[in-house]
Amino acid sequence: MSGYFKRLIKLLAVAAILAIPLVVYWQRQAILDWWRLRGYNPPPAISSLTTDTQMTDQAKHIFYVNRPQLIDKVEDFRAQCTISEKTIVLGCYQPIQQGVYVYSVKDERLSGIAQVTAAHEMLHAAYDRLSVKDKAYINAQIEDYYKNQLNDERIKKNINLYKQTEPDELINEMHSIFATEIASLPQPLETYYQRYFKDRQAVVGFSTRYEGEFSGRRDKLDALNAQLNDLKPILNSRIAELNALGAQIDEESRRLDSLKSNGQTAEYNAGVPAFNAMVERYRPLFSQYKRVENQFNSIVNEFNNLKGELDVLFEAIDTRTEAVQPR
């Protein structure tokens, strides 16, 4: 072999050695993913979350890289996720692809929360992986939608809460919220989220159903409260009428008793018809009062029962205290 070819081979070998760090750098995420996923088989409950939410292969990959866990006990969940006493936290993503944790809510009326939470946290991990260019583009789309088109008051309130608790992660949070909780988004956002969901409406459907368990009861409570507010002045008016007439009857009864005991029979007999007329007026007034009172008490009972149901639902998702025991 000539000296020229020997030098060429040496140069190529050196170039190949020098190129290895570059390849490793450019493929570092793929290498890290491979390392995290080696030997990993998602448990059936975790796999079901990806199926239920119609995650794409790309989304499943991101989700599984984070070794997601469904956690039953509040104390175990709190050990993995930072809980603010101001907010209810049902899942968390540990940055740098270090884990996704989802609280397992037991109340069957709230089925779907785990699916929405899993999708929400997966999107945090996905957001972490966006290139600088992609992140700038999607941030602009999210901010434009938030400022100019978002009209869901519940979501606006939630975003305002995030402004207080996680102001530096606001766009990141909206990136997850919009995808999982809003049915119709501008086309650029719909196209973008197709990276992660084959059918985004699947996860939105879960969100709509379980949120309806809360909003439906809140709306009914508002309606019942309005009925109580309408009945209160009527009830108070009936009570005032009864008290006034009752006071007159008591006074007249004492007067008649005095006349009778003093032998003033003529005066006593003259006063009896008027007394009886007052008593006759009292009876229908009392019946009217009882009807209003019964209606009022029935609504109060319904209100209290519904409020109790709502309290139980909130208790089922409240991870802020260690004593949570969903009923």
Mean pLDDT (the chain) is: 89
| Cα 102 to Cα 85: distance, rounded to the nearest angstrom | 18
Q: What is the pLDDT of residue 28?
A: 61
Lowest mean pLDDT among 16-25, 94-103, 122-131, 153-162: 16-25
What pLDDT sits at residue 12?
53
Across the range 238-263, mean pLDDT stands at 94
In angstroms, rounded to a whole number, what is the distance separating the alpha carbons of residues 139 and 21? 32
Q: How far is CA 257 from CA 46, 67, 167, 242, in A?
A: 84, 89, 78, 22
Give CA separation, 251 vs 144, 218, 239, 267, 314, in Å: 74, 48, 18, 15, 54
Please state the domain extents for the chain.
Answer: 41-210, 211-317
Q: Hey, what CATH topology would domain 211-317 get?
A: Helix Hairpins (1.10.287)
Cut 0.85: pTM above it: no
pLDDT tens column, 52-88: 999 999 999 999 999 999 999 999 999 999 876 566 7
The mean pLDDT of 160-181, rounded to a whole number, is: 94
Q: Could you tell me which residues come within 8 angstroms of residue 322 by beta carbon, excluding any fewer than 6 positions away?
A: 74, 75, 78
Mean pLDDT on 207-231:
97
Angle between helices 200-261 and 265-317 (to 10 degrees): 160
Residue carrying structure tokens 């104390």? 75
Kindly report, residue by residue over 173-188, the tens digit of the pLDDT. Answer: 999 999 999 999 999 9
Q: Say whether pLDDT at 3 is over 90.
A: no
The percent of residues above 90 in pLDDT, for the chain, comes to 79
